Amino acid sequence: MYHIDFQKPRRVHFIGIGGISMSGLAEILITEGFRVSGSDSVRSHLTDHLISLGAEIHIGQRAANIAEDIEVVVYTAAIRPDNEEYQAAIQRGLPVLSRAELLGQMMKNYRAAIAVSGTHGKTSTTAMISEILMTAGKEPTISIGGIMPSIGGNIRVGKSECFVTEACEYTNSFLHFFPTTAVILNVREDHMDFFRDLQEIRDSFRQFAELLPEGGLLVINRDIPELEELTRDLRCRVKTYSLSAPDADFRAVNVVLDEDACGSFDVVKRGVTMGRIRLKVPGTHNVANALAAIAVADSMGIGLDEMQVGFEHYTGVERRFEKKGVVGGVEVFDDYAHHPDEIRATLTMANQVKKKKLWCVFQPHTYTRTRAFLKEFIEALAMADEVVLAKIYAARESDNLGVSSEDIARGLREKGKKAVYLESFGEIEDFLLQHCVHGDLLITMGAGDVVKVGEALLGK
């Protein structure tokens, strides 16, 4: 496999450069002196930003984009083998790397490489760790799957040998990584268009843990069922955290949620109280995420006082219970939640801060996930007072599974909940304008483009 060497910058071409992860990796290479070009189907603020940094961007993917001086090509998982540019690169005998392979190669250039994995919570926890490292003067390079206000985007090029990134299990992409510290937040069923069952997912996370070198560190949630199957006989060190398990290395006790559902808690390390932490983001699940971040920071010699400064700077990332504004006395939030566990966590927060009625506009993400978790989606969404279902966001899939958002709406109505399925965003916006009243809380939810609904309402 081709290996990226920061000491020998090359000309690199990205097929699908406009994605949030791909654009971030491209920016890192540009900063390190690489010549970067790329293509995408549409122009965006991300492609415009790369152009401002000196990248050559093509809108539309064509064989002609593979210029003679290109030395290596990087592609996203969405690129099919018959893609014109991909085929041109293969025919020319150029080395090609997937996004995950490039990210893994990058990690090998850093002495301390931190990779945060889990079915959900990766972006928030990666951001928490990043804020702590920045305030502690560790100068990390950061690659994150969301927009961090403190760095003005999803990428930060640091000045040290410390690298922080998310590690996604989909298509086993994180098995291409080279972490020295890894975090496993949770292991649940998801991405069932790729994985056969939960056991196969667990096997993938076990293989991820096995990537850690002797002397490396695994920080893992003690509450994961049958934890020993994931940690037995690893060559690295293992530290656990938990909100409840008394034998965890790091625990949160005396947890208190304020009127905005933001948590404060005492940190207990192996029976000794280290001090108290206060968060500026809501939800008990963020207390758990913070514990994972604390365990990582502690291993790097960062004291709890410095960690608290980092947590004070962490006010969330875009699309994670993000308050978008107020229209007609209705508070409008947006959240990326697209898994039943994430929906439950987000709606729990929303119920704690709502004044009157809680409205949820949910856009399911992919047909396979909707079919696999139909019952679980119904149960989770029932936590809202009123649910509006948008059309399934297909992403990489085709509509051939016989499942629809109406199935979720019907299931909610059978449980006695108020739920409606509307085909277009325009219909949803009109419906909400007619029915939401002053004091209600409205949250748009999903990994697709449902955020446009709330933004449209705020503009009306």
Residue 125 near residue 165, CB atoms below 8 Å: no
Catalytic residue among 85, 101, 131, 166: 166
* φ, ψ dihedrals at 268, nearest 5°: -115, 120
Residue 271 near residue 251, CB atoms below 8 Å: no
Annotated catalytic residue 415: no
- Which helix (H) or strand (E) segment holds residue 99: the answer is helix 99-107
Q: Give the burial string for 291-328 (b: 16+ CB within 10 Å, else e).
A: bbbbbbbbebebebebbbebbebbbbbbbbbbebeebe
Annotated catalytic residue 418: no
Provide the strand spans (E) within 311-357.
Answer: 322-327, 330-335
- Indicate the SS3 state at residue 162: strand
Question: Residue 118 and residue 123: Cα distance in Å, rounded?
Answer: 10
H helix runs in 211-339, sequence order = 228-231, 284-299, 304-313
Q: CA-based Rg of the chain, rounded to a whole angstrom?
A: 22
| Other C-beta atoms lying within 10 Å of the C-beta of residue 247 | 10
Catalytic residue among 122, 138, 324, 354: 122
CB-count burial class (<10 Å; 0-12, 13-18, 19+) for 215: exposed
Catalytic residue among 119, 123, 126, 284: 123
Annotated catalytic residue 123: yes
CB-count burial class (<10 Å; 0-12, 13-18, 19+) for 380: buried
**Catalytically active residues, by annotation:** 122-123, 166
